[in-house]
Structure 1
């Protein structure tokens, strides 16, 4: 317990798994946590601890229980025995061999095949914030810096399992990024440029960071340095697979803020087990391809040449069916090459995985042969970079058994003929066992005991077993070792002599096989980087083949990417909704045109549930897919290069932040208004519905006018609304056009046709939708009565008339103070004094305001 307590002091914030014999034990507070999270028995024992709490599990179940603790958000220190208990004097020496946290995990049971497990670090560097993302399981290392909003978007896109930042920045971090992430704080001195550069140069063994293109990014360098420091601090010194940093350039990718990533349901659905764009598009066949596709999804390209390079390759793969099918078959047999190779320096790779690595390199060789005759420029360049790593591939195949065990200490890892000493020892062990059979046969004949057998146990090695029926035949020279109910066990000098030879040979075999396997792993080290390169190329091929497969399977077409500003989609479909339709039902496609000259803003009205939101989202998703380099669900799509996609769709209260639905809505909308450019695509759905009708109309109206009149910008905008009053904007502004989603009334029912048509809609059919949702009949009847009374009083008509009378924006005028004494002002004053504000309806207020406007001319 003294040993345990001394180690625990070094890792006070981690659950310490303390190896004792065949068990990992936890003590005191750790035992209470382990019992709760793992569902294991909590006991008390007089072990010298303060409260005696104890909970443990067998050492071979470490992977299972470690996974549960880390998933529950705990840091786990694994404390192993560092020497052989058989040879140790006194208490066995122990030490922490690994500190596992949510962001630092390499265990297959903790990791998800299709997702990266990023450890992030954030450095608040004044005006510029730096951020880094490192996946220790793959060796990928990204850095970036920019505004708080940019870093927030990157955090949303990369979704790190753990985020590091300086301890004194706790309040700042929470105020900026909320509580969405698992976080850990480090000392302030770690977040310094000098220390960061020192640790990075040591890792990459270079004289400067210029080769990574980050020399002018001090905040990003500091974040990257903090990440590497944390890895070493958590007992991960072997990081030879982290060979480079990649800089993320904001101008290289189409920008989507975190609200857009959420609203378009790119990675997560708003409903449980709902479909997302990622699930819909992901037909990759390798884990590294699935991880790269997710990154392509949240980082679409912004440069036309790079987009067309992908589109050209996808088109080529569609035409060359045999080539595409051959490539997919080879990729399927590769496994997770990226994570396999990363296990080598971490010393986590087992014999079976090494053999899988060699088989993956065989697939690299096959892919090179398949790509050798292709005529696509991009595929040729990828093919040139593939490296079969023939020397190490052949060595593995020549030296290792075809189906080696998972654990090297099980034996049977190295082939015969590789090492003369090993062959000799195997001969001794094999012949020794054959000789044991001869001894059994010889003694059986000499004693006349037909049931005599030779067996082995760990207590006294090899022995002869005689049943009680024949024990009177046992020679006096045999030494009795054990008496059982039905038999007795004996040993002989000859048996002991051969036991020593056999057991000695088997121990030496295991030691020698372990040494030879370690030599093989050492020989693999120089090949880590080229194998990583192969894995990255396979991931790209997988994503491009996935795009080609989707295009053929789901009738996607190649989009035309141009330098213009227009967006023209013919017969566009929503890729996610389309795939979720029942068999035999087809998606109703629609055309959309947005341009800067005639149709910059579309005001979209229509009944509830008619498909307005689907149309908005599909326009954004088609634009996004095109910039990924994917074919799109449309018969034709002409898409001007887009630099940003913004969406404002739905909102919920941020109660923990003290913000109402309307405040959240306004925050998101303000973020859009302040960030748009001429190449932005803006999707707005039901702006202003979080407040009163008149406030909502006023805000929505002014947003449309602002987007229309922005000098030099005029972003392409789709604006869905229930405020039919906004249809008046078409008459007041040249580039605003009204459209609606069509429907057909049949008796008391409404049929949604889901087709876009010019002109505004006058009805929302909210009561019809309420009826369809299963509202009680008496409630529906009462709603119809109230609607009829309101329509009879022409409230809607009065409001509409006020809207028509609205003038275009004018300059603000300041009244002369002497006007207060004029007859006009006196009349206004008298009129206001006669108004009973407590009984005034909103419409009557608007009418009074109109009268006052007429009085002042």
Structure 2
């Protein structure tokens, strides 16, 4: 800053530099008159993001400014860009002789702490995350400041992958931490804020109490002494939920789709009317339950709503009058309440009371409005103006006529004051006979009676002189003074009474927060069940059956998202599947590209999620067991920033699955091993399938592959083959999208390439090459005498074998070369010869 030393060494700029020094990571909005000014690097950054003019102060200091009355739109853009905004206002100086205004930071606005509607992303949760390490444990909390929701997880410090995965799944807008940066932070664009040591309580090791303390301290610091009160902290225990890691959530496109936000499971299910219902739906998708009783309870509610269509539509209309109670009450707590919010609360209470009446009539369990909220409705009726309430106090009437006599008189004076003055003027003019008599007003004298010089001697005795002019005289009277007092004090009286009552109502509503929260949660649940009912009826979904033997049995299941967005005239081809953890646990799925392997795999996983959400499922019939986790290894991409290849990323994800699955998991593998050489990839895929058979019962798995050699593993151990059927005639291929038991004949990759627009010369040459390769493969076959080759080689080299070598050779003896693929047989022979050669050399 040395180059700007003189320009910065002024009283105002010294104030700015002091604020900036305290908040180096925020863009300071420095109030100067009718503008918020930004200086130095702040100005450069803001000018680029906000597309505003960058100027200079004193021809030296970079400066940019915005009008104070238009800040919200600018702040929203800075927040969206991941910036913090430090709002610094002008205040009266302590020293009355001071030549410049004092300035004070009144709010620090960060992406994770906003509560204003225009700064939030619609109904979506806006999470502030806290990463708090205590000895060898980690608390990971997610607080939605706008709704006061607080969720938290408990991990051991070495569970880095699960911690990162959880952060990705919640997508917080901001992460705060105490000592250590969260593992994900090094590669994340999420805004980070380190908490000063004095934010921690003096008593260490208090667990979740410390988490709440730190969050509260951070919010009080940002909001400058506002008191936040979170909902009771709720621990997310993964043993209670179907665990979906971030990779699975992304692969299955449950809540997001990069191409079309509606082409997701959330998009199909979302018929919710309320903001709370939409948030509830999203959470249920991401956290399906493992509790069978909860699943059944959801189904029972759907059945009731399904059987009462007329009442269902009445309820949906009533829910349309509800506001986002969670967010409104949070805004009340931080001094952001608006008069019109009371009308929204009032309508919400009326609608829920009417909804309760309808639900009672159809046997749907919905709690009665607490007495406190019923009393609040009556208070609103007795207190508030019957018409539309103002956005801000003073814009229009706020309180009801007859509520307060002083208030009514003031309202009347404000509305009728001009008429009263005209009536008095007419009255005095007639009584005095003075034709020039006028009642006027100015800011200095207030109201006065003005009479011309010629008629000034004719004034009545009760007129009191106020001012003499060259052209006439000015007077007042006891009656005019009384009117003046009533008119001029009206605004002050109205403002005082409205403010008092407004603040009283705000405090009263805040005191009922728990009651409002309970009501909001119940409305969200109702909206959720209405949404599932509407979806179930439109697409003819089925209520599954629950079983506890680990089996998943689908009859004619469908993919809910793909089916919803099929072009007009096309019909989704349903498919059936049974995964039995004892006999048919692991399906090796073959078939050509474009045949529908990925769709089939995804639909099984998505239907499992629907089942554990308590939803009906798109199938003719379904008999399902609860699973603990769903793993997916579908598609891949380079992680260039970390120097990781496609294949490396694929293997990392595969390793995660193989290290974490249980016998109750559902696993989807799609083309594992395709990112390396054919033999390497085939070997890896083969070994993975063998590894999955070790456990008993085995994890329910679908393994889609183009390695047709893997179909030879269907020899017990729970592995069985499925394929996507095709129809071939005169060189044309029809993809039937029907799953059948058995294995695919070929992959039809050249045909698919031709469909994609590959030049005909390339596809024709590819056919020639393929024909030659297949001919070579047929030549490399194991003859009948080759079992003796195995036996002879082994028998001559069994002396001095290590236990491991004996184990390998014993396994090789059990293999019938005529029953394994030719390439695999050659690979086994090569390995055997290598071992024997090493033995010979060692001798």
Q: TM exceeds 0.5?
A: yes
The correspondence for 1:267, drawn from 248, 252, 255, is 255
Distance apart, 1:651 and its partner CA:
0.9
Structure 1 residue 510 and structure 2 residue 495: aligned? yes
Kept after mapping to 2: 8 A contact 1:263/1:649: yes
| CA–CA distance in structure 2, aligned partners of residues 601 and 318 of structure 1 | 37
After TM superposition, the structure 1 stretch with the greater mean CA deviation from structure 2, 247-256 or 121-130, is 121-130
Q: Secondary structure at the match of 2:367?
A: helix
1:534 aligns with 2:519: yes
Q: Distance in 1 between matches of 2:296 and 2:731?
A: 51
Q: Could you say which residue in structure 1 is the equivalent of 2:684? A: 699
CA contact (8 A) 1:361 1:388 kept: no
Query: Bigger CA drift: 682-691 or 3-12?
Result: 3-12
Counterpart mapping for 1:743-754 below 5 A = 743-754=726-737
1:244 and 2:232 correspond: yes
Distance 1:637 1:26, change over 3 A: same
Segments of 5+ residues of structure 1 without an aligned counterpart are: 198-217, 466-470, 482-488, 821-841
SS in 1 for 2:511: helix
Between the aligned partners of 1:801 and 1:570, the Cα distance in structure 2 is 44
Q: Which of 173, 177, 186 lines up with 1:165 in the alignment?
A: 177
CA distance in 2, matches of 1:795, 1:464: 116
Secondary structure in 2 matching 1:785: helix
Tell me which moved more, 438-447 or 320-329: 438-447
Partner residue of 1:604 out of 569, 584, 589: 589
CA distance in 1, matches of 2:825, 2:276: 65
1:727 is aligned to 2:711: yes
Distance 1:854 1:69 in 2: 66
Pair 1:613–1:851, CA change in 2 (3 A): same
Rounded Cα–Cα distance in structure 2 between residues aligned with 1:113 and 1:29: 31
> Does the 8 A contact of 1:132 with 1:224 survive in 2?
no
Cα deviation, residue 533, structure 1: 1.2
Change (3 A) 1:716 1:461: farther
1:270–1:662 Cα change, 3 Å: farther
SS at match of 2:576: strand
8 Å contact kept, 1:478–1:490: no
- Matches for 1:424-439 after TM superposition, within 5 Å: 424-438=409-423
Superposed CA offset, 1:64-116 (max 9, x none): 1111111111111222345699x998644542222110100001111123211
User: Equivalents in 2 of 1:143, 1:847: separation in Å?
Assistant: 52
- What SS class does the counterpart of residue 646 from structure 1 fall into? strand
Partner of 1:205: none
Shift of 1:455: 9.2
Q: Which of residues 298, 306, 324 in structure 2 aligns to 1:318? A: 306
Asked whether the 8 Å contact 1:143–1:224 carries over to 2, the reply is no
Matches within 5 A, 1:92-491: 92-125=101-134, 127-146=136-155, 147-167=159-179, 169-170=180-181, 172-174=183-185, 178-179=187-188, 181-188=190-197, 190=199, 194=203, 197=206, 218=207, 220-235=208-223, 237-271=225-259, 273=261, 275-376=263-364, 379=365, 382-384=366-368, 389-401=373-385, 402-438=387-423
- Compared with structure 1, are the counterparts of its residues 522 and 126 closer, same or farther at alpha carbon in structure 2 (3 Å cutoff)? closer
- 1:187 is displaced (CA, Å) by 3.3
Aligned to 2:760: 777
| Aligned partners of 1:71 and 1:102 also within 8 Å | yes
Asked if structure 2 preserves the Cα contact closer than 8 Å seen for 1:387 and 1:530, the reply is: no
Q: Is the 8 A contact 1:144 1:247 kept in 2?
A: yes
Residue-by-residue CA offset, 1:523-571 (whole Å, 9 max, x unaligned)? 2222121111111111111111111111111111111122220000011
Name the counterpart of 1:10: 22
What's the CA shift string for 1:717-745, capped at 9, x where partnerless? 11100111111111x33421111101112
2:37 to 21, 25, 42: 25
State the distance in 1 between where 2:97 and 2:616 align: 65
User: In structure 2, how many angstroms separate the alpha carbons of the residues matched to 1:760 and 1:721?
Assistant: 11
* 1:397 CA displacement: 2.7
Q: 1:759 aligns with which of 742, 756, 776?
A: 742
**Match of residue 701, structure 2, among 713, 717, 729:** 717
**What is the match of residue 722 of structure 2?**
739
Task: Summarize the Cα distance change of 1:785–1:463 in structure 2 as closer, same or farther, 3 Å threshold.
Answer: farther
CA distance in 2, matches of 1:698, 1:308: 44
Distance in 1 between residues matched to 2:427 and 2:166, nearest whole Å: 77
| RMSD (CA atoms) | 3.9
- Distance in 2, matches of 1:797 and 1:396, equals 90
Distance of aligned partners of 1:344 and 1:82 in 2 relative to their CA distance in 1, 3 Å threshold: farther
In the alignment, what sits opposite 2:636? Answer: 651
Separation of aligned partners in 2, 1:460 and 1:692? 97
8 Å CA contact 1:440–1:454 kept in 2: the answer is no
Q: Is the 1:462–1:491 Cα contact (8 Å) retained in structure 2? A: no
* Larger mean Cα displacement after TM superposition, 238-247 or 414-423: 238-247
How many aligned positions are there? 782
Find the aligned partners of 2:183 and 2:268 in 1 and give their Cα distance: 38
Describe the SS at the equivalent of 1:423.
helix
How big is each residue's C-alpha offset from its partner over 1:312-370, in whole Å with a ceiling of 9 and x where there is no partner?
Answer: 11122211223322322222211212211222111111001121111111122212222
Q: 1:43 to 1:504 in 2, by over 3 A?
A: farther
Q: What is aligned with 1:795?
A: 777
The Cα shift of 1:16 comes to: 1.8
1:279-336, CA deviations, whole angstroms, 9 ceiling, x for partnerless residues? 1111111001101111111110001111111111112221122332232222221121
Contact 1:255 1:645 in 2 (8 A): yes
Task: Report if the CA contact (8 A) 1:162-1:182 is conserved.
Answer: yes
Contact 2:410 2:486 in 1 (8 A): no
Residue 31 of structure 1 contacts residue 54 of structure 1 at CA under 8 Å; is this kept in 2? yes
Q: Which runs of 5+ in 2 are unaligned?
A: 1-11, 458-464, 803-822
Helix, strand or coil at the partner of 1:638: strand
Query: Which residue, out of 13, 37, 53, partners 2:49?
Result: 37
Mean Cα deviation higher: 600-609 or 320-329: 320-329
- Deviation of 1:680 (Å): 0.8
Instruction: Return the alpha-carbon distance in structure 1 between the equivalents of residues 649 and 146 of structure 2.
Output: 37
Which of 556, 559, 562 does residue 577 from structure 1 map onto? 562
2:449, 2:476 within 8 Å by CA — same for their partners in 1? no
Which of residues 816, 833, 836 is equivalent to 1:852? 833
Pair 390,171 (structure 1): closer, same or farther in 2 beyond 3 Å: closer
Q: What is the rounded CA distance, in whole Å, between the counterparts of 1:796 and 1:494 in structure 2?
A: 120
Is 2:74 aligned against 1:65? yes
Partner of 1:208: none
Determine the C-alpha separation between the residues in 2 that align with 1:684 and 1:27.
54
Change (3 A) 1:441 1:40: farther
- Partners of 1:335 and 1:274 lie apart in 2 by 24
Task: Please name the residue that 1:661 is paired with.
Answer: 646
| CA distance in 1 between partners of 2:824 and 2:579 (Å) | 35
| Contact 1:236–1:346 (8 Å) recurs in 2 | no
Displacement of 1:604 after TM fit? 0.5
Question: Using a 3 Å threshold, how does the CA distance of structure 1 residues 442 and 161 change in structure 2: closer, same or farther?
Answer: same
CA contact (8 A) 1:196 1:226 kept: no
Deviation at 1:409, TM superposition (A): 3.6
Q: Take 1:8 and 1:758, find their aligned partners in 2: how far apart are those partners? A: 69
* Contact kept? 1:653, 1:659, Cα under 8 Å: yes
Question: Does the CA-based 8 Å contact 2:592-2:724 persist in structure 1?
Answer: yes
Q: Secondary structure at the match of 2:118?
A: coil
How many angstroms apart in 2 are the aligned matches of 1:419 and 1:854? 101
Deviations 1:166-189 (A, max 9, x none): 34x2385546xx315332222356
Asked if residue 639 in structure 1 is aligned to residue 627 in structure 2, the reply is no
Distance 1:615 1:127, change over 3 A: farther
